[in-house]
Chains A and B, each alone.
Chain A
Amino acid sequence: MTKGRFGIHGGQYIPETLMNAVLELEKAYEFYKQDTAFWDELRQLYRDYANRPSMLYYAEKMTKDLGGAKIYLKREDLNHTGAHKINNVLGQCLLARRMGKKHVIAETGAGQHGVATATVAALMGMECTVYMGKEDCERQALNVFRMELLGAKVVPVTTGTGTLKDAVNEALRVWTARVQDTYYVLGSVMGPHPYPEMVRDFQKVIGEEVKAQIMEKEGRLPDVVIACVGGGSNAMGLFYDFIPDKEVRLIGVEAAGEGVDTERTAATIARGSEGIFHGMKSLFLQDEYGQIAPVYSISAGLDYPGIGPEHAYLHDIGRAEYVPATDRESVEAFQYLSKTEGIIPAVESAHALAYAMKLAPALPKDKIIVVNLSGRGDKDVAAIARYLGREIHE
């Protein structure tokens, strides 16, 4: 087996033009991973710039209302730029700067990773170009302007389905054309090695903080941790530190769209099969000839036909469970958290909440669930209104 494997998954399936760039990245990451000064600088940015640690909040009203397990929310929505994405981007841009790269590119779905990349590029004085599916540009128009305000160039991607996977395709294509001076800031635990491992390492702070915070509040580990999964970076970040703690259930919630039994879904573990795409061997939604399926979810951030290779592995070995939540369930959870706790969650995170709302009442009151509130929902308000039949002009 080649490098960067999680069981059979992972690898480096990319065009030759990019190989030396990926190997250079791998070498740089291996070096800085061991470098104390690098991590000191990153931790300082986490604290002073990104507002870490994010709080672990006991959702008391929600817990009482559901009448079962205690629910805690990991408030990644309170990070600078409003989502967990900043953790990874700070790490990668710091690395890009040490590698001497002046231009960063990124793909984005919901726009959160694009906004985070544009933000950190502004901070570090780098040129930034973000590739975003045309459909997503429309769904998340506010984020497009936000990125432009931050000085980034946003390029709408019209090929394919005009969503996240097409944005990744285009970012990879552009990277092959400008590989010498460009750093590709991949937004999730996917793509060729070393990205899945590196992005996880930059996100694992989520789980590490949760562990310390829950020990302080409850004096014990949680029984269940839940996160939404598209590519899977917020979930991997939450899960990673808990993998050795076998008593902690790890649950990833996929976007079922209109239902796992329909064609309008993005539930990769539920409906996907083994494949090789976007640089990795993993699970993908595809047809009988290996053509990547057009996927659908109300959430632009989960609207992706694959899943990170480490998730595929955790699924294979049975360490993590993956369950679907539909658009409808997620929109209900979105409304529920807003009304119950006064927190408007990202529609992505609402998928994790939707499953927590099913699970909590079924568990005794002495059980503890931690839900990763991976992002805030401001960006989704107009889309949710539309879903509920109200047209809002932004």
Chain B
Amino acid sequence: MSKLAAVLQKHKKIFAPFITAGDPDLETTKKLILAMEKAGATLVELGIPFSDPMAEGPVIQEADQRALAAGTTTDKIFDMIREVRKETDIPLVFLTYANPIFHYGTDRFYARCAEAGVDGTIVPDVPYEERGELEAACQKYGVDRITMIAPTSEDRIRDIARDAKGYVYIVSSLGVTGVRSEITTDIGTIYKRIREVTDTPAAVGFGISTPEQAAQMARLSDGAIVGSAIVKIVAEYGKDCVEPVRDYVKKMSDAVKHCEE
């Protein structure tokens, strides 16, 4: 079992906040990781900004642009993680696209992940069929390749779930990331089909912004992943975002953890 899976097993419910690394700067990213841990995050998903993030809605697209404009690079993110690792063991997972990894050198990228203390990666444009692109390096360095299951996955669910490491990312809705007023996908059925083939925890992301939505998704699965709603706070407050993000994450993670009550 991977470190990530072991940690997740200790938690009844997962709350996974997402932020774009380097938005507004890496110093703030470091503070956010520590603050979100204290506020109850089970793990933190960190976006490596990409010029053309095709699975993201406007909120995270703009965050990527801000981070890149601030001079954020993959190497600087690794440096920041080495720093933050001196202060916390919270699982850290990268979310980025195929090209920043491939162009960096896939083997070299995962070697750095392992060395800096990154537990897993989510790469939306590397689907099940193309997993060979990353698999060898992930295994070699013991970094979990977290896979996504979408409302359109249907008969693909079993194969993807069986292949899952760390946790399964259930995409709540069609379309890109961003806040939604309601989620209409039958998450319960997707979750059940995942459970038929694996014990790996499965959490729901895309479109979640309120404590009620987070609790509802956590009841239907093993937890909730929240990105755009947090990134919006970062966009609004800039370097002063740490406190409002902490307050928001506290509210959301409480809702997830007490969802059964």
Residues of A participating in the B interface, judged by any CB pair closer than 8 Å: 2-3, 11-21, 159-160, 165-166, 169, 172-173, 176-180, 273-279, 281, 284, 286, 288-292
A279, B98: Cα distance in complex, Å: 10
Whether B74 pairs with A17 at a CB distance below 8 angstroms is: no
Report the interface size for chain B: residues with CB under 8 A from the other chain. 43
Min CB distance, B205 to chain A, in Å? Answer: 12
Beyond the given A17-B151, A20-B156, please list 12 additional residue pairs across the A-B interface where CB-CB is below 8 A: A11-B130, A13-B98, A16-B152, A19-B129, A159-B61, A169-B52, A172-B54, A273-B103, A275-B102, A276-B133, A286-B99, A289-B103
B 195-212 to A, binary, CB cutoff 8 A, 1 in contact else 0: 000000000000000000
Whether B104 pairs with A16 at a CB distance below 8 angstroms is: no
Given contacts A16-B149, A276-B102, contact A2 B132 (CB under 8 A): yes
A278, B175: Cα distance in complex, Å: 16
Given contacts A15-B55, A19-B156, A20-B152, contact A276 B125 (CB under 8 A): yes
Determine chain A's interface SS by DSSP, over half rule.
mixed
A165, B55: Cα distance in complex, Å: 14
**In the complex, chain A residues whose CB is within 8 Å of the CB of B128:** 16, 19
Whether A176 pairs with B174 at a CB distance below 8 angstroms is: yes
Min CB distance, B155 to chain A, in Å? Answer: 8
Whether A178 pairs with B51 at a CB distance below 8 angstroms is: no
A273, B127: Cα distance in complex, Å: 23
A71, B193: Cα distance in complex, Å: 63
Whether A279 pairs with B175 at a CB distance below 8 angstroms is: no
What is the chain B residue whose CB lies nearest that of A291? B51
Counting residue pairs across A and B whose Cβ atoms lie within 8 Å, the total is: 123
Whether A176 pairs with B55 at a CB distance below 8 angstroms is: yes
Whether A290 pairs with B152 at a CB distance below 8 angstroms is: no
Min CB distance, B53 to chain A, in Å? Answer: 8
**In the complex, chain B residues whose CB is within 8 Å of the CB of A21:** 152
Q: Which of A13, A17, A286 lies in contact with B171, CB distance below 8 A?
A: A17
17 A-B pairs in the complex with CB atoms less than 8 angstroms apart: A2-B130, A2-B132, A3-B129, A12-B130, A13-B130, A16-B127, A17-B175, A18-B152, A160-B52, A166-B52, A173-B175, A177-B175, A180-B152, A274-B103, A281-B102, A289-B75, A290-B104
What is the chain A residue whose CB lies nearest that of B98? A276
Whether A177 pairs with B174 at a CB distance below 8 angstroms is: yes
Min CB distance, B63 to chain A, in Å? Answer: 13
Whether B100 pairs with A289 at a CB distance below 8 angstroms is: yes
A3, B129: Cα distance in complex, Å: 9
A3, B174: Cα distance in complex, Å: 25
Whether B130 pairs with A16 at a CB distance below 8 angstroms is: no
Give the 7 A-B residue pairs with the shortest CB-CB distance, closest first.
A290-B103, A177-B175, A276-B98, A17-B150, A291-B51, A290-B99, A290-B100
A353, B212: Cα distance in complex, Å: 62
Whether A14 pairs with B127 at a CB distance below 8 angstroms is: yes
Tell me if B153 counts as interface (CB < 8 A to partner A).
yes
Q: Which of A16, A166, A273, A275 lies in contact with B124, CB distance below 8 A?
A: A16
What is the chain B residue whose CB lies nearest that of A165? B52
**In the complex, chain A residues whose CB is within 8 Å of the CB of B51:** 160, 291-292
Tell me if B148 counts as interface (CB < 8 A to partner A).
yes
